[in-house]
Amino acid sequence: MADRYLSFASGRIGGRIVRRLGLPRPVPLRRHRPGAPLVAGPVVLGSVRRSYAVAALREVLEADGVEIDERARRPAALIFDATGIASAAELDRLHAFFQPRLRHLAPHGRVLVIGVPREDTAGPAHAAAQRALEGLVRSLAKELRGGATAQLLLIAAGAERAESIGSTVRFALSARSAYVSGQTLRLTAGAPDAPEADPARPLAGRTALVTGAARGIGAAVAEVLHRDGARVLCLDTPGQEPELRRLAARLDGVAVPLDLTAELAPDRLLVQLDQVGGSLDVVVHNAGITRDRTLARMPVDDWRAVLDVNLVAVERLTDALLPRLGFGGRIVCTSSISGLAGNAGQTNYAASKAGLIGLVEELAPMAAERGVTVNAVAPGFIETRMTAAVPFLVRQAGRRLNSLGQGGQPVDVAEAVAYLAAPGTGAVNGQVLRVCGQALMGA
């Protein structure tokens, strides 16, 4: 559904009016286009003594043809390697780097701060200084304008190699992360090196299963995974079969009409997998429903239906499919900001989406023993048929109550899923990536 306020506020006349009235002025976000450069201009890269990630950062940027220029007048990105900051006094280095440059950051610019996780800090002072980075990045992300975003990347000792950080650095700097801001990503050591891949088609030769694929976010995920080279198995309920088959045909994929809540659904899916080749590399659990009512007025059938589709089916399907995933396999679950912050009238939905996060956190270390990662995305307000049915005032609040002042698009969630599904993202495991424009509640 069109966001008329966004269109009005980003126009020349409308922009003048909202500026004069002191109203928010969101700008249309710049999203990924195939063939576009990683960043649209030079990057300023700063660091402190003892920083251990700067060499890998330079290697990644130079491999993508990015110009690193400390004197850039209009930088497309500001990157600061703060891994060497070991005390509160040294936090002044962040102010010295960012304060004179932020006002010159290009529209749709990127800010990336690099730190170390708590388990790699040496004492209370070091831990305090590194945790301070999170408060800085979250606050800075709320101050940025013009579609700019900021992220914090925590790199564990041993993971500071270009092979480990490349996929995440590229995602954070590119237009793929247009609706992701103020987030923290942790890279763990010991992840297997990513195989050589075409950056434009990192999933070439891989097979991905996407549930809830007939429309909305699921269809966008299937399209982006196909764009990135994957063969896509599109799964949805038999009632969505016409839309599902049209999508699969367009993507040269396979339509899998199946009720995931059926008792024999996992067995039937395994049979269908065998019929189309048997191999599987990526599983995206996207299927989900809502039955919104306050808990006091919620029939047990509505409660049960949401839990069955959104959580129980995911558990059963994962148990069946995990043995099919080879080394380097990926599982991505679609949670929700509601699962993090809660939402009135959605106790069933929020419970199911919070349960997915618990599943991801517990399953991730077990799956890592097989060389498989398990992560989740948590969308905020995304412009879909479901949100188009939300009452007008609630819909406007959902769009405006985030740092970017607008709702996201299904492709924003799809880009995050594709990033987590990529072979080069093996160092990210057991995490929840919020795709919410830095929602002011729960993010």
CB atoms within 10 A of CB 100: 9
Among the options 5, 52, 179, 349, which is catalytic? 349
Q: How far is CA 336 from CA 46, 202, 356, in A?
A: 35, 26, 9
Q: What CA–CA distance (Å, rounded) separates 44 from 67?
A: 9
Q: What pairing do the DSSP bridges indicate for beta strands 254-257 and 110-115?
A: unpaired
Q: How far is CA 175 from CA 110, 181, 214, 322, 434, in A?
A: 9, 12, 25, 32, 16
**End-to-end CA, the chain:** 24
Q: What CA–CA distance (Å, rounded) separates 206 from 284?
A: 13
Q: How far is CA 326 from CA 135, 282, 377, 412, in A?
A: 38, 10, 22, 27
CA torsion through residues 87, 89, 95, 98, sign: negative
Judge whether 198 and 166 are in contact, CB under 8 Å.
Answer: no
Q: Is 52 a catalytic residue?
A: no
Tell me which residues are annotated as active site. Answer: 349
